[in-house]
Structure 1
Amino acid sequence: MSDTCPAVVRVGDLHVEVSGAGSTVLLIHGNSGDLHYFDDIVPVLERHFRVVRMDCRGQGRSARGDGPLTIRRMADDAADVIRATQQDGEPFGVVGFSDGANVAMSLAIHHPDAVSALVLNAGNIRRSGMHRIVRAHLWLVHALQRMRRPTPLVRQRHELNRLMLDQPGIPRAALARIAVPTLVLAGAPDLIRRAHTRMIARTIPGAQLRIVRGGTHFLMRLMPDVANPMIDAFLRTGIAPLDGPLVVDR
C-alpha cells in the first residue's frame, strides 16, 4: 500500500481517492470489490503517475443511487470521475479488472476522448466469455439468493450477481472502434475462456495480449511481481514486456 495519504474526492454518488503526480491512471475494480483491490500496484504506479481509484456504484463506499445498475452506467460514472479529476483536459490511462475491464471497454467506446490507454485484465464482452462452470455457479447463487429473505444486503448481492449474468453486452463490432493502445491481460487458468480473451485482443486494433502462467483470474493479487511491472511498463512505453516462460500466450 502507498505510504502517502490519498486525497478523498466525492463525485456524485462515488467515493474516489487520488494520489501521486504526473499523467493520470484510473483504476476500476471488479464485481463486489472496491478500490483496495489495487493496493499492491498503487505504489508502483505512483513512481510515474497520478493515480485515481474509484469505488464503483453500489460497492465499497460509493452509494447505489437510483436507476439501473449496468456496465454502461458505470462507464458513464467513470467518465464523470475523469472529468471531475482531470488536469488540463488530458485523457487518462485506464486499468480495469474483471467487471472493471468491462467498464473500461465501455468507457473507451462511449467516451473515447477520456481515454489515452487501456489495460484490460480478465474482461469479457458477453457472459458466454466465462467458462461454463462459472456461469453454472452464478446461476446457482442466483437461485439461492432468491430463496433468502430480501434484506438490503441480499438485494445488493443479488443485483451484483445478476450484473455478471445479464451484462456486459458489449458488441464485438464496438471493440473495433477502440483506438488507443491496449493491453489485454489474463492469468492461466482464468474464469474467462482463453479463446474469448484472444478474441478481444484480436478485435481491438493493435492490442497486445499477455496471458501469464499461474496467475488465475486474480493475477494482479497473486502475482504482483509479474503483473504490476508489466502494467506500469505498458502505460509508460506502450509496450508490455514478454516475461520469459511465464507468458504463455501473446
Structure 2
Amino acid sequence: MTETAPTAVQVGDLHVEVRGDGPPVLLIHGNSGDLHYFDHNVPALERHFRVAAMDCRGQGRSARGDGPLTIRRMADDAADVIRTLQIDDEPFDVVGFSDGANVAMTLAVHHPELVRRLVLNSGNITRQGMHMSLRVQLRFADELLQRKRQHGVLPVVRHEHELMRLMLDQPGITTEQLAGITAPTLVMAGSKDLIRREHTRLIAKLIPGAQLRIIVDGTHFVMRDMPGVANAVVDDFLRAGAAPVDGVRILDR
C-alpha cells in the first residue's frame, strides 16, 4: 500500500497535512506526539477518505502561541481546522488517540455540528481513568519538573511540564457532557492499555449507542503497533457505522 505525498495546510498556528479523497476524516494525536503517530493508519484510510492529520498546538510543527494550553483550546483548534477544510459544510469523522481522544470528545461536546462520527482510542475523562502505575509516574515527573522550574530552566522544560500537566489536570469532561454526545461513536482500546478497562467501558456506556472494541494484546499504542487490526476496526466503523467483531481479535464488546 503506497502513501501519497501530503498537501500541507497552515491553519493559524497549526500545521495540517491532507491526503486522499472522499469523506473527510481528522486525526488527532496524543500528548507530546505529532501527526506522524498515524503513519501506519493513513495509507489504509486514504483509500476511501480525505484524511487530515493535525499537529496539536505546541507539538510537532504547530506553534505554541500565547494564552493557556488546554484540551478545550485544542478542541477549538480542531474546530478551526475542520471549518478551514470543509467543503459545503460537510462534517468530519474524527479519530483521536489518548489526549487526542480527549480533544475529540471535547470537540464533539462543544462543536457537535462539525462531527459526523467519532473514534475514541484510549481516552479518559479523569486522571483516575489511568492505571495507578501511570499516575504514580506522572506525579513523580511533575514534582521533578516543578523543582527544575523553581531553579530557572529552559523554556523547553517549562513546555514539557505544561504538556504533562494536561494529563494530570485535564480534560474535565463531565458524565453529563458525554451523555449529550450525539455523533455515532466507537470506543477502542487495547487489552493491555494504560487506561483502566473499567474506565473505557464507562465512556462507552455513557455515550448513547457507543460501540466498544477491546483489541486482544493491544497496548495504549494499538493503532501504531497493531495497524492491521486497528485499521480494520476503524475503517469498517467509519464506512459502515459498525465496527467488526469477526476476523479481528476482539476481547469483548
Which interval holds the TM-score relative to the shorter structure?
A: over 0.9
1:188 aligns with 2:196: no
Q: 1:140 maps to what in 2?
A: 140
Output the CA distance in 2 between the equivalents of 1:27 and 1:13: 17
Q: Could you tell me how far 1:3 is from its partner in structure 2?
A: 2.9
TM-score by length of 2: 0.96
**In structure 1, what residue type is equivalent to 2:194?**
L
Q: How many residues align?
A: 250
| Percent of residue pairs bearing the same amino acid type | 68
Q: 1:7 maps to what in 2?
A: 7
Q: Which runs of 4+ in 1 moved over 6 A?
A: none
Structure 1 residues 78 and 5, CA gap change in structure 2 (3 angstroms) = same
1:51 aligns with 2:54: no
Q: 1:219 maps to what in 2?
A: 222
Contact 1:17 1:54 in 2 (8 A): yes
Q: Could you tell me how far 1:182 is from its partner in structure 2?
A: 0.5
Output the CA distance in 1 between the equivalents of 2:76 and 2:165: 20
Q: 1:160 maps to what in 2?
A: 163
Q: 2:64 maps to what in 1?
A: 64
Contact 2:30 2:98 in 1 (8 A): yes
1:172 aligns with 2:175: yes
Q: 1:92 maps to what in 2?
A: 92
Gap regions ≥5 residues in structure 1: none
Output the CA distance in 2 between the equivalents of 1:60 and 1:90: 27
Q: Could you tell me how far 1:243 is from its partner in structure 2?
A: 3.9
Structure 1 residues 110 and 126, CA gap change in structure 2 (3 angstroms) = same
Output the CA distance in 1 between the equivalents of 2:99 and 2:8: 23
Output the CA distance in 2 between the equivalents of 1:125 and 1:116: 21
Q: 1:237 maps to what in 2?
A: 240
**In structure 2, what residue type is equivalent to 1:134?**
L
Output the CA distance in 2 between the equivalents of 1:233 and 1:48: 11
Give secondary structure in 2 for the equivalent of 1:141.
helix
TM-score by length of 1: 0.98
Contact 1:82 1:114 in 2 (8 A): yes
Task: Tell me the alpha carbon deviations over residues 158-191 of structure 1, each in whole angstroms, 9 at most, x when there is no partner.
Answer: 0011110000110011001111110000001111
